[in-house]
Amino acid sequence: MEKVKIGLIQMALKTETDLEPAAIRDAMNEAHLPYIEQAADAGVQVLCFQEVFNQPYFCPSQDKKWYAAAEKVPEGPTCQMMQKLAAKHHMVIIVPIYEETAPGIYYNTAAVFDADGSYLGKYHKTHIPQVAGFWEKYFFKPGKSNWPVFDTAYGKIGVYICYDRHFPEGWRALALNGAEIIFNPSATVAGLSQYLWELEQPASAAANGCFVAAINRVGTEAPWNIGEFYGNSYIANPRGEIEAKASASEDELLIHEVDLAIVREIRNTWQFFRDRRPETYTRLTDGE
């Protein structure tokens, strides 16, 4: 297909964080259902949620309570629910979730379900920050997913998660593996990152001749209050132009149709992939 209708859901936390993770999960899953139905009614073909979409961004803490938020993929309750909805609505759904692969082993994950409900696979967040307010190494093992691209009913998609977006190598790897649209579900608060939010990802779209769909949550989350999640989810085209953008503070379903024919047009115009010189880039992988 050349034209694909994308949906991005940004949302504030709907409960207090002193509840048990299972209760928060259920409340957040329920809160997403009207937006999923709205997306289906509007003909959305590929839908993506924000990073760890059905929990708070709990990484300002180092509280092992949050290990209980992790679910199996795809056997857990959230994935099972989304798998059925994907089949019901003939919609590809990208589910960013906290995953337990074995006792004590946890990943920041995005599971991908095709439009017939089949489970296509998952991506594990590769780059894990460990700075004040973002103690992610306490909760997430770094992924090594080999840059999977999912050949869906509506096109070839890749996933890069939040902090990953600061590392240009992964964008390029996903594009070289065939991604036409790369989704970046995030949890990002106002401050230094806000300037980069609309700089790095459109630049990566242009450098790699693909669409980038960036999703960020909204609101504040007590008791940590590390700042305001500033929304502004958007879709950038292979020219690096932002074609559609959501609000800074509201729960919102952003819907926008993209034309995948532009991917070939732009790559044929710029020929960045032809002119790259990987044999000269060994400094990037020498381990230092």
Q: Which residues carry out catalysis? A: 51, 125, 162
Distances (CA, A) of 226 to 12, 19, 61: 14, 19, 10
The alpha helices in the chain, defined as continuous H runs, are: 21-41, 77-89, 168-176, 192-197, 200-208, 261-270, 272-275
| Integer Cα distance of 196 and 116 in angstroms | 36
Cα dihedral angle (177, 146, 143, 199), rounded to 10 degrees?
Answer: -30
Instruction: Measure the CA–CA gap between 282 and 97, rounded to whole angstroms.
Output: 34
Packing angle of the helix pair 21-41, 77-89 (nearest 10 deg): 10
254 CB burial (10 A radius; 0-12, 13-18, 19+)? buried
**Amino acid, single-letter form, for residue 42:** A
The answer to whether the peptide bond before residue 168 is cis (omega within 30 degrees of 0) is no
Backbone torsions φ then ψ of 174, nearest 5 degrees: -65, -40
Per-residue buried b or exposed e for 94-132, using 16+ beta carbons within 10 Å of the residue's own CB: bbbbbbbeeeeebbbbbbbbbbebebbebbbbbbbbeee
* Whole-angstrom distance, CA of residue 93 vs CA of residue 183: 11
Q: Which two tokens stand for residue 163?
A: 């902090």
